Structure 1
Amino acid sequence: MKTATILMMLLPLQQLVAQQIKPYTTAQAHSHNDYERRRPLEDAYEQQFGSVEADIFLVRDTLFVAHTAGAIRPERTFRKLYLQPLLDKIEKNGGNVYPQQDIPLQLLIDLKTSGEETLAALVRELAPHEKILAPRGLIRIVVSGNTPDPAQFDKYPLFIYFDGRPEMTYTPEQLARIGLISQAFQKYSNWNGEGTLPERDKKRLSKTISDIHQLDKKARIWATPDNINAWKTMMTLGVDYLNTDKVREMGDYLRTAPR
């Protein structure tokens, strides 16, 4: 068979593969441990990220944002760093999170203190603003960390979604409360982001992501290598939220990367 004929046969396959790789924007970017940035929320917001992450601790009746208990500071509350700025932006934008209409934002909240008490305090903080929260509004609250047993999901308001795990099996009712399914990159690979992801690791990751998509859920892999080569690899695998600590760099890349 002539080379030209073989190339003509391969062309439709190449086009199909290209069509299956979805275009990425900053809507698929996740600001990992966002509160550790010099400007919590604001840096990711300026890049129009689709997801930001905040760890919270309950101390007495107040929710503080910090990575460890020792890092808690009186002025760094969840309300001050995240809730009130988002309320202000929504008021300024006429009901929208971003100046453009109907662009959602995922707020991933990692419960660091006792799940039941901390989640109850979070519900109290958010309940007066239910209209801006999914499923009614554009901000989706996804709770991670010390989450309740899935059998307890239905005890919480519908504006509370939960971060699932790919190895767990959920009932249809529980799955409806799952807003995201996440797992650590180290469960699949020790790759450092240089060169090519080993084929064996790629297959394991690909199967997990495919399984998540079969449940009609979005996939997040945390603690991935944080460079352009790794971002491109995660995009090829179909990861829905690209995990990064380099908010501005990822924003610049996603805006200028070839489509």
Structure 2
Amino acid sequence: MRKFLFLIAFSYTAAFAQPKTYSTNNGHSHNDYQQSSPLFSAYTLGFGSVEADVMLANDELLVAHTQRDIPQRRLLEELYFKKIQSYIQANKGYPYADTSRSLILMLDIKSDAIPTLNKIIDVLQKYPELIRTPKFKVLISGNKPDPNTYISYPSFVVFDGLLSNRYSKDALSRIAMLSDNFISYSNWKGNGPIPPKVVERLKKLIDRAHEMGKEVRLWNVPDFDDAWSKVIELGVDYIDSDSIKALASFLKKQQQKTS
């Protein structure tokens, strides 16, 4: 019996230690709306996650970072919801033709949390493909309601948690990703190795997140190859970047190394 238990434990540890294969589906297009072709550029590269800042103004959901962006009147529906729905329709219920690939639309709320989230939920119900497709998620970030209320929201929206926070079981059931600001841990700019204490602290948090079944993203990591290699060593699931073409090239090389 003891030998049997040892084999189970060994198998679990070995499986957990297997190297992760990275592809462009591990790319996160930070502030995607600032790309020359919002959504389209990241989607064409096969990114698994795109991020848009959202504000509620005059009962409209606008892609905007601050009040100064509101006059541009970039509608969330036009830039993202309608286009993603068209991809899902074209691919017969999947965001990508490759049905193993997933897509996350991270909505970083910049206005009041509850009214903006309620409006997002109302509008999403006009797009049945977006709320029924298992390989697509709408992930709420930025200004969010109290985590203890997450369970009261429809299951077609999930939440972005903070890697360093502790959450209740109910809140965790609705959190799909745990993210954090790299600058909160280190001022490393990409020169030389990340300080060992920083690596140890982040690795513990990331391993804990994975044990809970949560994916991980760090933002404000230096945006170039060497830094991306470092966050891969830490075990993050989504690599955050504004330089999406360069990141796509890097991730394709990573995939070739492990294939």
What TM-score comes out, normalization by structure 1 length? 0.88
Partner of 1:54: 52
Q: In 2, are the aligned partners of 1:132 and 1:138 still within 8 Å (CA)?
A: no
State the secondary structure of the residue aligned to 1:82. Answer: helix
Partner of 1:3: none
Superposed displacement of residue 166, structure 1: 2.4
Partner of 1:64: 62
Q: Are residue 195 (structure 1) and residue 186 (structure 2) matched?
A: no
State the secondary structure of the residue aligned to 2:127. Answer: helix
Q: In 1, are the aligned partners of 2:180 and 2:217 still within 8 Å (CA)?
A: yes
Superposed displacement of residue 117, structure 1: 0.6
Q: Tell me the distance in 1 between the aligned counterparts of 2:252 and 2:163.
A: 30
> Of 103, 114, 117, which residue of structure 2 is paired with 1:116?
114
Partner of 2:248: 251
Partner of 1:219: 216
> Of 166, 169, 174, which residue of structure 2 is paired with 1:169?
166
Superposed displacement of residue 169, structure 1: 2.1
Partner of 1:9: none
State the secondary structure of the residue aligned to 1:95. Answer: coil
Aligned pairs for 1:1-259 (under 5 A) are 20-133=18-131, 136-257=133-254, 258-259=257-258
Larger Rg: 1
Superposed displacement of residue 130, structure 1: 4.1
2:125 alignment partner AA:
A
Q: Tell me the distance in 2 between the aligned counterparts of 1:25 and 1:122.
A: 30
Superposed displacement of residue 137, structure 1: 2.8
Superposed displacement of residue 75, structure 1: 4.4
State the secondary structure of the residue aligned to 2:104. Answer: strand
Q: Percent identity?
A: 36
Q: In 1, are the aligned partners of 2:57 and 2:70 still within 8 Å (CA)?
A: no
Superposed displacement of residue 34, structure 1: 0.5
Q: Tell me the distance in 1 between the aligned counterparts of 2:100 and 2:225.
A: 29
Q: Tell me the distance in 1 between the aligned counterparts of 2:39 and 2:148.
A: 32
Superposed displacement of residue 132, structure 1: 3.3
2:89 alignment partner AA:
E
State the secondary structure of the residue aligned to 1:72. Answer: helix
Q: In 2, are the aligned partners of 1:130 and 1:159 still within 8 Å (CA)?
A: no
State the secondary structure of the residue aligned to 1:120. Answer: helix
Q: Tell me the distance in 1 between the aligned counterparts of 2:154 and 2:128.
A: 9
1:216 alignment partner AA:
G
1:82-120 per-residue CA deviation (whole Å, 9 max, x = no partner) reads: 001111111222222112224210111111000111001
Cα RMSD (Å):
1.7
1:190-224 per-residue CA deviation (whole Å, 9 max, x = no partner) reads: 10012211112111111111121121101111111
State the secondary structure of the residue aligned to 1:235. Answer: helix
Superposed displacement of residue 127, structure 1: 1.6
What TM-score comes out, normalization by structure 2 length? 0.88
- For structure 2, the residue ranges without an aligned partner over 5 or more in a row are 1-13
- For structure 1, the residue ranges without an aligned partner over 5 or more in a row are 1-15
